[in-house]
Every structure is written in C-alpha cells, then in structure tokens.
Amino acid sequence: MNESAGDFSDILTLLKDNPRGMSVTEIADAAHLNRNTIARYMDTLLVSGQVEMRTFGKAKVFFISKRVPVSAMLNLSSEMVLLIDENLKIIQANEALLSFLSVDSENVVGSLVYSGPCNLLCGDVLADHIRRALRGDTVRGELRIFHEGRECYLDQKIYPMVLADGRPGVTVILDDVTDHKNAEAALERSEAMFRRLVETVRDCIWSLDEDAVIRYISPQITEICGYAPEELIGHSFTEFMPAGAGSRFSWELAAELSKETGFTLLEFPFICKNGSRIYCEFSGTPVILDEESGMFLGYNGALRDVTDRRNAEQSVKRWKLFLDGVMHNIPGIIIVTDTKTDRIVYTNLSAEQYLGINRTELRSLSISKLLSRLGSTHLADAHDKVKAFGKPVNVPEDRIVVNGTVCYVSARVLRMVLSADREYLLTMATDISDEVADRNRQLQTRELAFVLEGVTTTQEIWNSALEMLPKISGFTAVAVYQRSIFDDYILFMSKGGRFAPAIHRDSIVDRIIRKGEPAIFDTYRMGLFPEGTLSTMDNAASLVLMPVVHESRTVACIVLGSTAPQSPDTVLRGILMSTSFQISTVASRCLLQEKLQRERDRTRSYLDIAGVMLVVVRRDGVIEMINRYGAKTLGYSESELIGRNWFEDVVPAHAREARLQAFEQLLSGMVDVEGDVYSGTVLCSDGTEKSIRWRNSLLREECGTVAGVVSSGEIIPDEGAGR
C-alpha cells in the first residue's frame, strides 16, 4: 500500500464491507499490516475526509465517510464563495471567485481578506460586515467596486458558521449583478425618454395575416434580434426558428384560432441576425371581422425576449435538482410539510428507505397521520409546538415502530417561511437506534454486575445469566454447560433455541472451552466449523462461548447462540469479554463458598452423631456452638441455646462463681488444660442437674489470642455434683 500516493483502496474496501465500523487492530489484522502503520493511514484518511471516527471508551472505531466534500459543493455554485475564519484569514475560495479575480487558489487561501488578492473586495464596509457575522449576525448588502476598468456590482450575503475544527467563521457569498444593474439603469434611461410609450406598449408589436405572414412589426424587434422591421415583413416567424420549433409554433398558433380571448405561447427559440439563439414569448389574439361572418383576418400580438428569465429559471431548476440530489443522498431523514394542509410535500431517499414507504404514498399522507402510524408522541408534539409558536424544537429521542420494528430517532423541527402564503415545516431526523441499544446494553451490563455482586451460589449466577445476557448481547438463546465427573461438558440449563445435550469431545468448541478464554463466532468465523460437524446449537449462525474458570480449570461454560447472523461491534465484543471474566470471578468465589459450606456441613454432621457433648463458649461466656447430642442432653434444641450465656443458663447457681473463676484462668493461659479432666454439673431445661466429665481445649485466633474454649463432656452415671 503506497501511502504517499494516497492508495488506501484496501482499507476503504474493508470499511465498506464493515458498515458498523472497525478498530485499528481489526483493520491491521484484516490488512496484514503493522498496527502503527494502519494508525498513521487512518489519521491521513480522517484528515482528508474519506473516513469518520467514533470513540467507544478507549477504542477508536472508523467508518467510511458519508459526507459530500464542501469544496465540491462550493465549486458547483455559480456564485462566488469565501470561507473565512475568526482571524479574517481565507481558508477556502471557490472556482467562481478565483475566476473573477483571475488568481490561483494558492495565492488566496491562507491570506488575510483585507491584504491579499481579495483586498479588491474587502473595503471597510465588507470588513465590518464580516466582523458582525463573526458575532452571530447574518448580513446582506451590496458592494460597488472597480474591476478591470469597469464598475461592478456584487450582491453580498454573509453568514456565521462553525468550521470543521470547531472554530467560528463566516461564509461570504457574492453574486455579480452588474449586468442586472446595468440593465436596470438602461431601463430607467429609456423610461425617461419613452415613458408615455412604455406605459402603453412594452413589447415588440406584430400583426399576422390569415396565412401567418408578418404584415407589421414594431422597431423594438431590432433590439431583440438585430433584424430591421422590413427584413421580417412578408416572412413567417417560423422561418426564423429551428425546424422542430417552427412546426410546433404553427400548430399551437392554429390551435389558438378557436379562442375568443387572448393567448400566450411560451418560450419559442428565435434565431437572431448574428446567428445567436434567444427565446421569445408570444402573446396575442385572433382577428375576426365580425361575429356574424366569422371571417378570420389573422393575429395581432406582441413578443418579448425572455432569454434571461428562461436562463434564470433553468439555473434555478438546475440548482434545485442539485439540491434535490444532495438532499436525496443525505443519510439523515428529511421531511417537508405544508403547514396549511398538513400534507407532506417533500421527502428524501433516506426517509423513503427508512420508513419503507415510496415517495408517492408518503406525499399522499398528512404528517399527523404518518406520525400516528409510526406511534410517535414526541415528534407529534414538536410539530404542534412549532406550528403554534414558530420556534424550532429539538426532540432528543422518540420511539417509533417501523414495519413492526421498534426504532429510536432524534429530530429537529423548524419553520420555513418562503412568502406570506408559503410556510412549511422542515423535519430532520436521525436514526439513533444503535445509540439507544448501546445505552440499554450498558445499563443491562451494569445491572448484571450489580446482581452478580450479591449472589452467593452458582445457581443464582446461571439464573441471572440466562435472564440478562440475551438482552445485553442481542443473541436469542443462552445455555449453561457444566463439567461432569466424567470430565465432559453436559447441558445444565438453557433458554431459547435447541442445544446439544453435551459438547462433543475434542471438537473445536470443546478445545476452546478447555482453553478457558471467551470466543466469538460471528458471521465470518462460523465457517471455521467443518461442514457436517455437530454444532452446539441447532441451526446456529453465530455463537459466543464464555468459559467459567475456577482454580485453573474450566468448570462451566455459558453459550450464547443466534439463528440469525450476528456481527458484534468492538464495543459489544468488549462487553462480552469483560462480562465473561466477571462471571468467572464471581463463580470462583461462589464455588469456594459452596466448598467451604460443604466441608462445614460434613464436619457438623460428624459432631451431631458424636456420643459426647461438644460446646464452644466465647470469651464473653456466650454459647457459639453446641452439637445436637449436647443440646438434647440439656433438654433444648440447638437454636435455643446458641447465643445464650453458658454460665447463666446452663451452670447451676451454686457452682457458677467457681466455674467462672476457672473459665477466666483458662482464658488467661495460667492453667495448662491439655489432658486435664474434671467433673462439673449442668442445669437441664427441666430443672434437674447432671454430672458431666469435661475435657477442655483453647480456641485461638491467628494472632494467638484466646477467643474461647471448646469443651467435650460425657455424662457420669449416678455420680454426685462435682466441683
């Protein structure tokens, strides 16, 4: 790839094939180039306007540019255009302006407007107008300059704008109206001399006989086409028209014979004496001798040169077609509505494609009916507000339903007043469904993270994953596979779709799961599965594998599946990867807790079946644990004793003081209790006393401090109270 020559076709092809965008890493992998080289190429394409970039967290995602270059649009305009920054420095000039000044772009761009080649245009008045526009005002006016030895008039329009880098600037549009001014001046001079004649006859007067031969034509014809009147008398107008136009003129003139009132024949070409072509508008009336005889004598009428008007109309039409072409290809949705009739009068191609309605059907609808069909509320309110108050209204987000699919759009509605009786509403909308989906996905991701923080068992993890992962990922089916005692992965639970009961050993899926790293099989990577091999999910077109790792072993795997092809973008891939690791972390914690609980339960079961009393008394004398045999011996349940004071509720009153002193000596470490056996009485729930032979052991914390005493006791048959 040759960067200096601007050959980025491979990268641009990749971006066209991936309309949802690609990161620098993905482009580098696909193009088999160094990541730093790709980053440099992308900066060049971004500056040149061939690509666009959006940031998702720390990732930069590039898309093919959908913008029309401003320079191309400016050069299509017949008006002269200057783009100026806040320092009055010229940053762009179109071809029309360069041609007018007879300079090259290099001599203009970068110069100050009042000191470079454009100083001819920038007098004090224009400079003041530019400064006003920089303050936010739109300025219109007229410039009078001397250029190439003649006086020129320029109609100026100056608009404030924001440049591509965010700085303020202005657009100066100049239209050379010198010919128009000169024509107006000539007309005023002519009116001063021939005012009375002009008030009655403004056009060239002509008279034709019954054979459409010219019998009279006024001297104005010389000004129009260069012929003297006598050069035309005795001839037909069709002799001075192109063949096709002459035939059409004769046919339309004959068709007007039946009309009693005047007629107008529009824009017929006329060949002037110097060979140039102009367009003339003919108007007149048939001449009938009297109503009774009905004798046809010919036509009387007038003609005028409408070449300038026609050219202006053609220019307007061409400009309108150009604007239509631009608007038609803008990716945003554009709809124009007549405020009086509420009817849609214009829609661009994006609107038709997005709504799935052709232009004819759209323009037969009212905007209120269309919005009602789409289920819109905010846009409908915005139209009502703009109609009522005339101020633009922004709609940050509106929910609509297009062909059964829920979509979200942001829009701006504003009023356009073309004249006193021509008022429209312009609606510009953008599809933000992806942004809303990303936002909801982020919310769902945070909610899942919050839920996972509070789970205590793996069952709760699987339930949460089955409920929330389809909403986050957009995949329709989800399943949990757990590792069995036979070292294979079998289906534990699923939601949506049909999954295989077990994952085939030594398959690609099995090897990926055992590797313990998440994997995404999108539209392109599904081809890695050999044809005819067993798929984890029936008819899967896309899969996501999210292994759950505990103590360096994959103990389970969450599988997301979709029968429709999915191509997760960079953001979604990152979410799925982080969620997979988060689930593994939480699952590992829960598995450890479950293992510890099982060990505790097993130990407790051993204690419960032991034929001796086992009791743990804390430093404050409170019973922390007592086994089932001990509680039963005392006539209580375990829950009745745990949390009560051993010396107040179990030790008889007559032995309580001595037993407390002995307990304090044990806690102080002054007495060696290892192997020491002593007898003591306990008070049962029924008020009777039993003599117990006790053995004690100190319960210490990690730092060595005595936390309590563990005692085991056996009932002494028929033995009196001990110490």
Superfamily of domain 610-715: PAS domain (3.30.450.20)
CB atoms within 10 A of CB 237: 24
Q: Does domain 201-311 have CATH number 3.30.450.20?
A: yes
Q: Which DSSP state fits 670?
A: -
The predicted structure's pLDDT at residue 477:
93
Distances (CA, A) of 421 to 317, 365, 652: 22, 21, 106
Rounded to whole angstroms, the Cα distance separating 184 from 186 reads 5
For residue 472, give every residue at least 6 positions away whose Cβ sits within 8 Å of its Cβ, in sequence order, or none.
Answer: 441, 444, 445, 448, 575, 576, 579
Give the model confidence (pLDDT) of 271-298 as tens digits. 999 999 999 988 888 887 666 666 778 8
Q: Which CATH number fits domain 9-64: 1.10.10.10, 3.30.470.160, 3.10.20.90, 1.25.40.10?
A: 1.10.10.10
Local structure of 50: helix, strand or coil: coil
- The answer to whether the 331-431 and 437-597 domains have the same CATH topology is yes
Q: Give me the torsion for CA of 361, 363, 368, 369, rounded to 10°.
A: -20
Asked whether 345 and 338 are in contact (CB, 8 A), the reply is: yes
Q: Where are the domains of the chain?
A: 9-64, 70-181, 201-311, 331-431, 437-597, 610-715
- pLDDT band for 545, please (50, 70, 90 cuts): very high
Distances (CA, A) of 456 to 283, 492, 551, 591, 684: 94, 19, 18, 9, 38
Find tokens 């409908």 and name the residue. 380
Burial class (CB in 10 A: 0-12, 13-18, 19+), 310: middle
The single-letter code of the amino acid at 301 is G
The model carries a pTM of 0.43
Rounded to whole angstroms, the Cα distance separating 279 from 227 reads 15
Mean pLDDT of 521-533: 71
The single-letter code of the amino acid at 447 is E
Q: Report how far apart the first and last C-alpha atoms of the chain are (Å, whole number).
A: 98
Local structure of 273: helix, strand or coil: coil
Taking the CA of residue 188 as centre, how many other CA atoms within 13 Å lie in the half-sphere pointing to its CB? 6
- pLDDT band for 533, please (50, 70, 90 cuts): low
Architecture of domain 437-597: 2-Layer Sandwich (3.30)
Mean pLDDT of 631-652: 88
Q: Torsions phi, psi of 239, nearest 5?
A: -70, -20
Mean pLDDT of 701-711: 78
For residue 309, give every residue at least 6 positions away whose Cβ sits within 8 Å of its Cβ, in sequence order, or none.
Answer: none
Q: Is the pLDDT of residue 360 over 60?
A: yes
Mean pLDDT of 86-100: 82
Mean pLDDT of the residues in the chain: 82
The predicted structure's pLDDT at residue 558:
93
Q: Is the pLDDT of residue 559 over 90?
A: yes
The predicted structure's pLDDT at residue 240:
92
Share of the chain above pLDDT 90, in %: 8
Asked whether 92 and 77 are in contact (CB, 8 A), the reply is: no
Tell me which fold the domain 331-431 belongs to. Answer: Beta-Lactamase (3.30.450)
Q: Does domain 70-181 have CATH number 3.30.450.20?
A: yes
CB environment 26-65: b (16+ within 10 A), e (fewer): bbbebbeeeeeebeebbeebeeeebbbeeebeebbbbbbb
Most confident of 636-640, 696-700, 705-709: 636-640
Asked whether 513 and 503 are in contact (CB, 8 A), the reply is: yes
The single-letter code of the amino acid at 493 is M
If one compares 236 and 319, the residue with the highest pLDDT of the two is 236
